[in-house]
Amino acid sequence: MYDNPDGVMIGLEVHVQLNKLKTKVFCGCTTDYHNDPPNSHVCPVCLGLPGALPKINKKAVEAAIKVGLALNCKIEEHTQFYRKNYYYPDLPKGFQITQYDFPISSGGHIMIEGEDGEHRVGITRAHMEEDPGRLVHEGTIDKSKYTLIDYNRSGMALLEVVSDPDMRSPKEARRYLDKLRNILEYLDVFDGNLEGALRVDANISIMGGQRAEIKNISSHKGAERALLYEIVRQKNVLRRGGIVVLETRHFDEAREITMSMRSKEEAHDYRYFPEPDLVPLKISGWAPAIKETLPELPDARRLRFVEQYGITDDHAKALTSELKLAIFYENVAKKADPKTAAVWICDVLKGELNYRNLTIDSFKKEHMLSVIGLLASKKITEDGAVDIIRTLLDKGGSPDEIVAEKGLLKVEGDIVSTAAEEAIKENPQAVADFKAGKEKALNSLVGAVMKKTKGRADARAAREVLLGKLG
């Protein structure tokens, strides 16, 4: 049982770009703008020109329902849009079309790995809205003189997923984000690798203070850092007898600190009112059919992997934490021993990929199958297999080529035997020491055998052969 000594309560608002759609939420502009010049995919609707009329993308609504269902939310009978009014350069109309008291889905939950085992995090609601444009500052945000604006992003379909304040540490917040991203990728509504795909605002309070809202967090690691900083800051304020006030703070990712951004605009100043250009939606009837099309989600796949392949829960969890990794594993496990595959993918390949900042896309399943095959037929040692995997990642090639090039085939017993005889002959002092009871002297003989066989011998086998000859 985690006792949460500081009474930390964290709730997250995650803005998810539904970037697998072809077009923006209220106009036909493409979502494929990431490598194009600024303001080259804009139209009267997403530029907010007078007289333009938004019309909602049906696929965006379907995607929102899909996500709502996957987060165990209820899909609401009646849902509609509002204008949230405020002036900021990223908002060309002077308001954002969003949802307010009738969100498309609400009242769900997901399970995360908490401080004390499985932990439930409530989902308050997941509502639809449009993305603002992208602001570019020359230099840092507090020093630059101008703001440059690119509206290519303006009008992208967003889903704002609001959690209950159920997370009790920055680590839990990070796990929640990992899990949410994982679910979204399984649903195929979201590509997390695109810039700006997922942005986070965090609400955090500790016992004895009010909450701070931290804006401008753009990564999972950033969220954890911002929250760690914020807990220390709030504790220091309270320790000095101060008051932690309700406020909005800005996360400076480079300096890893949060800064107060005092603003005259409070929540009630948004002057929400129903969007007259968009009629309400009555789409809860779509939910049962969409539910039928939901793919197997991470938790379900993890259970199935344990049952179907007989692998450990830890391995199943690691393998299902990324959709591509799960698919990779399953493709390998169909053609090789599933347990061996799990060990080599989770315990070796994943580490080597992480170390190089690569994803599973950088490794071919055929190569994993050959490595496992070479091990199973005892043609290479485990060290040799690791060497092959590393070489494939660093230089490319194929396992067979690498085996040939590096001479990784396990050497025959008689070669080890010859090498052992030579080693004994050439190192009389070590032999004498060993016979006098110094067990460590054997190590230098094993070393000599390894050197003679250029490392292809198995160290344990060499040791046994030497013992046999010395005994």
Binding partner of residue 131 among other proteins, Zn ion, none, CB cut-off 5 to 8 Å per kind: none
Number of residues that bind other proteins (CB under 8 A): 55
Based on CB atoms, which residue is closest to Zn ion, 45 or 419? Answer: 45
Which residue from 34, 78, 221, 356 is in contact with other proteins, where contact means CB under 8 A? 78
Burial of 339 (0-12, 13-18, 19+ CB in 10 A): middle
CA–CA distance, 356 with 284 (Å, rounded to integer): 46
Hey, what's the torsion of the CAs at 25, 27, 31, 36, to 10 degrees?
-140
Edge-first strand order for the sheet with 117-130 is 74-75, 105-114, 117-130, 157-163, 9-17, 198-205, 212-217, 247-252, 257-260
Partner whose footprint covers residue 136, from Zn ion, other proteins, none (CB < 5 to 8 Å by kind): other proteins
As a whole number of angstroms, the distance between CA 443 and CA 99 comes to: 71
Q: Which of 50-58, 67-75, 303-311, 427-435 is the region at the interface with other proteins (rule: CB under 8 A)?
A: 50-58
Q: Which of 77, 265, 307, 400 binds other proteins (CB under 8 A)?
A: 265
Interacting positions 148-177 with other proteins (CB under 8 A): 148-151
Q: By CB under 8 A, which span of 53-61, 171-179, 383-391, 408-416 interacts with other proteins? A: 53-61
Pick from 171, 183, 220: nearest CA to 322: 183
Distance CA 424, CA 439 (A): 15
The DSSP letter of residue 438 is -
Q: How far is the CB of 51 from other proteins (least distance, A)?
A: 13
Query: What's the token pair of residue 275?
Result: 């969007």
239 binds, options Zn ion, other proteins, none, Cβ within 5 to 8 A by partner type = none
Distance between the two ends of the chain, CA-based, in angstroms? 56
By CB under 8 A, residue 120 contacts other proteins: no
- DSSP-assigned beta bridge partners for residue 213: 203, 248
Binding to Zn ion by CB under 5 A, coded x per residue (else -) over 24-63, reads ---x-x-------------x-xx-----------------
Binding segment (CB under 8 A) for other proteins, from list 195-203, 279-287, 331-339, 366-374: 279-287
CA distances from 40 to 36, 43, 155 (A): 7, 9, 14
Which of 34, 120, 137, 356 is close enough to bind other proteins by CB under 8 A? 137
Give the binding site for other proteins (CB under 8 A).
Answer: 21-23, 28-30, 37-44, 47, 55-61, 78, 80, 85-89, 102, 136-137, 141-142, 144-151, 261, 264-265, 269, 271, 274, 276, 278-283
Give the binding site for Zn ion (CB under 5 A).
Answer: 27, 29, 43, 45-46
